[in-house]
Structure 1
């Protein structure tokens, strides 16, 4: 990324006692681009804006409710998908932006799609990386794989859910909201280790105490959303996407993504019926820092800066099929 001037910082009061932290980078006269972080709960990061040319873009990076430097950190009261969509409406009004390119990866892609459905006239284009569709099977599969991997702590959480006759997301969400500090830290460390292994294929570094507290806040928000199916159960996000605005849309997805299965990207492209380009990144997983993922995103952003469109056709990935549960 070409470095621009020092960021402009906004602290935007929201309802429910929340305050949203927003950073603007790049050229204030450049193409407006809204960058939505993942999680939910992860917070924005320099990694998410590094592929932008700051001479061409006005890069807007909000921390969603309870996330990053928004306050209160880790708060789940008054924190739903509807609240996040209202926050984006408020942010656009505050910044006096008519339309923006919306860029998001993983949960950020979910929120980007929901925002485009909520405010179709506000969205000039969609750049979606490693899309997460918030399907029940995707959420269940992430935790089921952890249990099958053989870790006794994941097995204990699974057994607790079985005894209580509830999903494992309920057990985790309740523990992170109301459990002892020790249990919250243990679950956060466990989740982080599994997420990093799934995303990068490498063991996670041992978090220090400050990092662990941030992880507790992050996963408290994420578990809260997953427990409720991200408020996208009926109708599902795929079912809703038939109403997406017809704007330039590019889906960039790693063929080896174990966190957000590639079949989800194929299902989304199928639902959009030719209104989106699906570009596979061979050999890449969920990690946004993977060199091939970063190169694909950088190329897409450069193309859009020049033409306000995404160039080229989608690339096929052999052996991929839409799963029966894609809807």
Structure 2
């Protein structure tokens, strides 16, 4: 059994104009004649990492990856406070995926997403079910009001990460703490770096505090990357990920005919397994795995193994 496919480099890459002055960075690796697979990164605003290519057999798959609008190597980058995010929404990203599919001449592809990538993957598949051969979803985020409350009120994840929650709340005056998302939004959007950089740092400190079962060092982000990540993540959280009022579960019937594998860590604090369970209840044909000794990270061994088994089975 393959534990982790070897590192591979892109054989092609480029920038694709997607409208509104935006260009998205894309790359392809693996076998140019293989089964197309699309990888959707998390965040939103996280960008690509080299290990994202390693969930797929490079001899069997034509692996397509891209940096979503305004992050990673896409441009303009949200790390510039002057860059507007008005044209960065889930419908825009769904349209970008279709433009990329057409640009690369892909008829249908396997869609793989982790965390925010599950949200975007479900939204894309429901909008274009005829272009999807199956889905692999890790760490399901449905962005329902209760899911938001778990992350941004003291009655949820704060109970498990009290010191990190205290650090997150500390910069906000007591009279504004009834709506931390709005309070941080005002500060992250402030044009003064003395205001928006500390706010972005505190926001991302909380966002990244529960990414793995065991603590790991936070990523080394420069000020522009930090601000861009914070701006995009906050933009989506503050707007309910720009999803329809009925949410993602209401559209499952459009994709129930597709094969799907759902993987979630038992101790995933970012996207607790109740969300994966709710998706499975709406989509009982989808295969659900709850990994007992895992958190949120896609590279954690138990999760990684199941994801690779899924892509191996779905490549035929």
Does the TM-score normalized on the shorter chain lie above 0.5?
yes
Count of residues paired in the alignment: 301
Helix, strand or coil at the partner of 1:124: strand
Contact 2:8–2:54 (CA<8 Å) still a contact in 1? Answer: no
Aligned to 1:181: 193
Ranked by relative contact order (alpha carbons within 8 Å, sequence separation 6 or more), the top structure is 2
Q: Which is worse superposed, 170-179 or 247-256?
A: 170-179
Contact 1:127–1:249 (CA<8 Å) still a contact in 2? Answer: yes
Write the mapping of 1:110-259 to structure 2, written as runs, cut at 5 A: 110-144=119-153, 145=156, 149-150=162-163, 151-157=166-172, 159-162=174-177, 167-201=179-213, 205=217, 211-259=222-270
Contact 1:10–1:21 (CA<8 Å) still a contact in 2? Answer: yes
Contact 2:267–2:294 (CA<8 Å) still a contact in 1? Answer: yes
Deviations 1:134-183 (A, max 9, x none): 11221222122576625155144373534xx7x32222233222242133
Q: Offset at 1:89?
A: 1.2
Contact 1:288–1:294 (CA<8 Å) still a contact in 2? Answer: yes
Q: Offset at 1:195?
A: 3.1
Cα distance in 2 for partners of 1:177, 1:261 equals 29
Alpha-carbon spacing, 1:134–1:242, altered in 2? closer, same or farther (3 Å): same
Deviations 1:6-28 (A, max 9, x none): 43112101111110000111111
Aligned to 2:62: 58
The two structures, once aligned, show a CA RMSD in angstroms of: 2.1
Aligned to 1:288: 298
Q: Which is worse superposed, 211-220 or 192-201?
A: 192-201
Contact 1:36–1:105 (CA<8 Å) still a contact in 2? Answer: yes
Helix, strand or coil at the partner of 1:132: coil
Alpha-carbon spacing, 1:195–1:202, altered in 2? closer, same or farther (3 Å): farther
Structure 1: segments with no counterpart, 5+ residues: 308-327
Q: Offset at 1:187?
A: 2.4
Q: Offset at 1:201?
A: 4.8
Deviations 1:197-250 (A, max 9, x none): 312255564665x53320210110110011110112511111222332511111
Helix, strand or coil at the partner of 2:249: helix
Q: Offset at 1:43?
A: 0.7
Alpha-carbon spacing, 1:141–1:179, altered in 2? closer, same or farther (3 Å): farther
Cα distance in 2 for partners of 1:200, 1:4 equals 24
Cα distance in 1 for partners of 2:98, 2:190 equals 32
Deviations 1:28-86 (A, max 9, x none): 11110000001111111122221211111111001111111100111413111111111
Alpha-carbon spacing, 1:3–1:30, altered in 2? closer, same or farther (3 Å): farther
Alignment counterpart, residue 94 of structure 2, candidates 55, 71, 85: 85
Cα distance in 2 for partners of 1:226, 1:197 equals 17
Cα distance in 1 for partners of 2:126, 2:191 equals 36
Cα distance in 1 for partners of 2:235, 2:196 equals 14
1:260 equivalenced with 2:271 (yes/no): yes
